[in-house]
Every structure is written in C-alpha cells, then in structure tokens.
C-alpha cells in the first residue's frame, strides 16, 4: 500500500504533468476516449468529466483499458454534481462510489468539491485515498471572486494533495486578487487558482506564473467546461503558456467588446515570430479604474485601447503624441521604465494610408459614419489631408460636437439616397461579430466611388457586401487592423513588425470563423 501512496505523491505527479490539464467531455465513453486519444498527442494531462456521462460507473472499464494502454497519460476523474455546477444528478454517496472506483481503474487523481468533503465523514475520504489516487479538493464560485484565503483555510485541514479554487472575475481587478492570493499561498500547498468568465482570461494565462501548479483548457473551441475556458492549442500556440516566466512582459487590448478580438492572435504571432518574451491578452472592461489597477499590479507594459476607452485614457497619460492630443483619442499606450504611461495614435495613419493608395484625398468628399474614438481618428486624419468630411451619427449632438472640433460638417440621413460621395467610411461597431444590429445603411443609400468599413470581424461585413453588389470597390477593416497593429508592435518592441505574417494569421482566422458560421447556419 505504501508503494502506491508514494507513487502518487504530489512531487511524482508534478513531475508527470505539464502546465495545462485538458478537460475531456462527451456523451458516451467511446466519444470521450476518442477525444482523449487526440488531445493526449499534444497534451497528455487530461481531466475526464464523468458527470457528462449518463452512467459513469458503467464507463469505467473502458477508461481502465485506455489508461492501461496509454501510460504517458495522467488522468483526473471528476464527477461534479449539479449543486456544484456540474451535470451529475446523483447523490453524494453515488459520486463517492464513482470516484472510488475511478481511483481503482487507474485514474491518478480524483477531484471532489469542498461541499462534498464537508458533508461526509472523514473515513469516506480515507477510503478514497486508500485506492491510491491523489486527492484534489476544489471550490467553485460562479458569481464572484471573494474570500479566497477563507476558502483555502476551509480546505487545508483535509490535507488534499492539490487544492483548487475557481472564482468568477466580474472585473479585471479580480484577476489581481486571484494572483496575489496564489503568491501568498503557493508555498503552503499545491495550488490551482483560476478566474472564470470573459474577464478571467488573465488568470488562465498568468496564474501559472503567480503560483498555480496548472490551469485547465478545453479540448477544442466549443467544448469549454467553464465560462472563459481557452482551447488547449490556443494556450500553447497563441499564448505560449509553457514559456511564460517572471520576465515575460504583458500587453493587452482593453475595451468592450474585446472577446472576439483577433488582436491577441495577431500580436502574439508577431511576438513569437520576432522572439519577444511577451504575451498579449484581451482585457474586457468599460471602467478606467479597473484597467489602471490591472496595469499597475501586473504590471502591464503596453495597451491597444479600443471602444469605449480611447478618449477617457488621455487624462491618465504622462504625455501623448501630437495627433492623439489633437483628436482627443489614443489607441496605443506604452509604459516607460519609470512606470509612467505614454500615448500614441496608430489609427489615423491606418485609416489614411489605405485610402491614399486608392484616391486623391485632397478635395475628396467623404462621409464618416459614427462619432466615437475610431471616427475621431478618421475625421481628423482625413481633414488633415484636405478632404471635405461629413459626419453622420445616430446621436446628432455627438456628431455636431465632433464636426465643430474637426471643422467638418454634419449630414442628415434623409439626404443620403440622393447624395454622391467619393468615400463612405463606417467607423461604428455596426456589422461587427456579436454586435446588433448588423445593418447601418440601406443599399440605395450607398452612393460612393469607394466604401471603407473599419470593422474587420467578419472580414466581409454587410456594408461591404452591399457595396460589392453595386460594383463599388471596397477597403476591408482587416487592412486597417493589421496596419495599426503593426505600428503598435513597433512602438512596444522597437522591432520591425512581421506585417505579412500578421495579415496571414488574421485572414486565416476570419475565414475559419466564416466557414464555421456558415456550417452552423446549414445545420439549423
């Protein structure tokens, strides 16, 4: 018996596992084993979510065979009850029986909830341990991040081999709370700490550096077992989680929505290509104080700033370049060695350059849709080139204010159908993936020599499709997106940007997304 206990000590297990545990789900054991076979080729540390099966006990012989044949796999058995956010409808006694038999079937670790541990007698846990598997006691909070130390102290008396605490990030600062907790407690236990949700991505990537023994990943996109979970390949390839260390610099795109942003893919690709020890994350927030807390505490070395923060960020910067100051919007922030923040605007050049390649801007009649940070960059940039700029905005007062500041003119929608422009430029999020509504103009209102949509995801927006149907040449948002991202990369790193590679991965990802969406539509 002692031999088994020693074999599955935390030290032994830590020597077997990587930084990522891939969660395997499926409705049948055969489906789960097929997914496990595929996942194990790249990542042999797997969690089998037995609670996804209708009859977990009957599946165990198949898992025993699989684990017997795949000695490189380290496996966790989880059978989370509905009360704890899982799918298992049975009682605590049923859960324990499944986990005990899983331990006897070759699983290296079993995961039980703190609520289960607190509801059973001590000898029940000992029975689990006697089967030779290491014990993970976990706690999940699907509502908030609070009292992490208190939860830790509730788990410690059970002396599990691993303690797992999963909270939900309601803001960016919750990640800071989780990482500070990991730093405080990392020497007292083998800890796993993660924040769920769109705002918890920071903890999923940087938690390892703060002291989390490992993190969890989905086997493939769409198979997430927790909100905000990242696919294993994305964690390894895009975020290079195996290479993150104390000297890795952190950058991010800040704003709302950034969940579907391809900036992390584009900039992380550039970091990898140019061997920069840095990682770029999506920082979903609308609150400046929340962002500043994260920047200070992590610390974050640079930001791509998007809606709705491009104007608000200015007052928190030590200094900005003249164009940011002039237009009152900044999309790029860099932290100097003294910790002070400096601002730049790469949007202006990224709007103007693609248009200059196609048309003479001096004297051109241009309609800009929108009056936010992106529109400001377009309006001021085009005015500077001598264009005659008209602004059409849903909220008339905002449009009028921007027109006054930039010495442009406003335009009324009812005049559109009978007015000809050289360029119509969309600087609103309308048409963006995940944003409703998706139409900004009617076909009859699009009368121009050229249509430019700053939305880059999807690659082919409703506005661009309508323009093409009328045989009007278009400029896609992708061209602008990559252009401004390349300038940001250069500001942050001082290295030339691998622009072709950045364009390639963005176009590839957008095409894959479009293909997946059309497959989904066909199914429905």
Catalytic (active-site) positions: 140, 164, 310
Annotated binding site for shikimate: 261-263, 306, 331, 347, 456, 484
Burial classification of residue 141, based on how many CB atoms lie within 10 Å of its CB (0-12 exposed, 13-18 middle, 19 or more buried): middle
Q: Phi first, then psi: what are they for 337, rounded to 5°?
A: -60, -25
For residue 55, give the DSSP letter: -
Annotated binding site for NADP(+): 370-374, 454, 477
Annotated binding site: 47-49, 80, 204, 225, 229, 261-263, 306, 331, 347, 370-374, 454, 456, 477, 484
Scored b (16 or more CB within 10 A) or e, 290-325 reads bbbbbbeebebbbbbbbbebbbbbbebbeebbebbe
* Cβ-Cβ contacts under 8 Å for 418 (sequence gap 6 or more): none
Residue 372 neighbours by CB distance under 10 Å: 19
> Nearest 10 degrees: CA dihedral of 515, 517, 521, 524?
120
Distance set, CA 179 to CA 175, 203, 205, 217, 448 (Å): 6, 7, 11, 18, 52
Strand partners of residue 320 = 343
The C-alpha atoms of residue 215 and residue 386 are separated, in whole angstroms, by 53
End-to-end CA distance of the chain: 55
Annotated binding site for 3-dehydroquinate: 47-49, 80, 204, 225, 229
> Nearest 10 degrees: CA dihedral of 450, 455, 461, 464?
0
Widest CA span in the chain: 87
């Amino acid at each position: 018996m002692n031999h088994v206990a020693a074999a599955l000590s935390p030290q032994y297990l830590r020597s077997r596992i990587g930084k990522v545990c891939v969660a395997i789900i499926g409705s049948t054991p055969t489906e789960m084993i097929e997914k496990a076979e595929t996942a194990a080729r790249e990542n042999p540390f797997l969690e089998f979510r037995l609670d996804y099966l209708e009859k977990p006990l009957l599946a165990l012989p198949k898992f025993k065979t699989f684990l017997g044949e795949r000695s490189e796999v380290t496996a966790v058995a989880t059978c989370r009850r509905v009360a704890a956010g899982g799918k298992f409808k049975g009682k605590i006694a049923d859960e324990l029986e499944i986990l005990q038999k899983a331990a006897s079937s070759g699983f290296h670790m079993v995961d039980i909830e703190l609520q289960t541990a607190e509801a059973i007698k001590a000898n029940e846990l000992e029975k689990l341990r006697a089967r030779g598997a290491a014990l993970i006691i976990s706690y999940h909070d699907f509502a908030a991040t609070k009292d992490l130390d208190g939860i830790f102290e509730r788990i410690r008396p059970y002396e599990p081999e691993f303690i797992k605490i999963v909270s939900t990030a309601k803001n960016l600062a919750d990640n800071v709370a989780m990482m500070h907790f990991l730093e405080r407690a990392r020497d007292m236990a083998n800890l796993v700490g993660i924040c769920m949700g769109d705002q918890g991505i920071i903890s999923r990537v940087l938690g390892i550096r703060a002291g989390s023994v490992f993190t969890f990943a989905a086997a493939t996109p769409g198979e997430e077992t927790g909100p905000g979970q990242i696919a294993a390949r994305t964690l390894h390839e895009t975020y290079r989680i195996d290479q993150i260390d104390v000297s890795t610099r952190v950058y991010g795109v800040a704003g709302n929505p950034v969940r579907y942003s391809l900036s992390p893919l584009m900039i992380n690709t550039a970091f990898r290509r140019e061997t920069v020890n840095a990682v770029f994350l999506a920082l979903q927030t609308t609150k400046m104080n929340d962002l500043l807390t994260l920047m200070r505490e992590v610390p974050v070395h640079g930001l791509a700033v998007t809606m709705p923060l491009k104007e608000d960020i200015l007052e928190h910067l030590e200094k900005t370049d003249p164009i940011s100051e002039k237009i009152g919007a900044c999309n790029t922030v860099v932290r100097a060695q003294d910790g002070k923040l400096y601002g730049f605007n790469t949007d202006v050049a990224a709007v103007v350059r693609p248009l200059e390649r196609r048309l003479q801007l001096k004297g051109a009649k241009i309609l800009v849709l929108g009056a936010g940070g992106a529109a400001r960059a377009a309006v001021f940039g085009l005015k500077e080139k001598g264009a005659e700029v008209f602004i059409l905005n849903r909220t008339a007062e905002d449009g009028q204010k921007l027109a006054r500041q930039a010495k442009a003119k406003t335009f009324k929608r009812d005049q559109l159908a009978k007015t000809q422009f050289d360029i119509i430029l969309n600087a609103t999020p309308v048409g963006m993936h995940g944003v409703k509504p998706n139409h900004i103009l009617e076909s009859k209102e699009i009368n121009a020599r050229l249509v430019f949509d700053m939305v880059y995801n999807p690659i082919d927006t409703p506005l661009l499709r309508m323009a093409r149907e009328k045989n009007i040449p278009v400029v896609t948002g992708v061209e602008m997106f990559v252009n401004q991202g390349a300038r940001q990369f250069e500001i942050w790193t001082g290295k030339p940007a691998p622009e072709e590679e950045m364009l390639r991965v963005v176009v590839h990802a957008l095409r894959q997304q479009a293909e997946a969406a059309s497959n989904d539509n066909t199914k429905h």
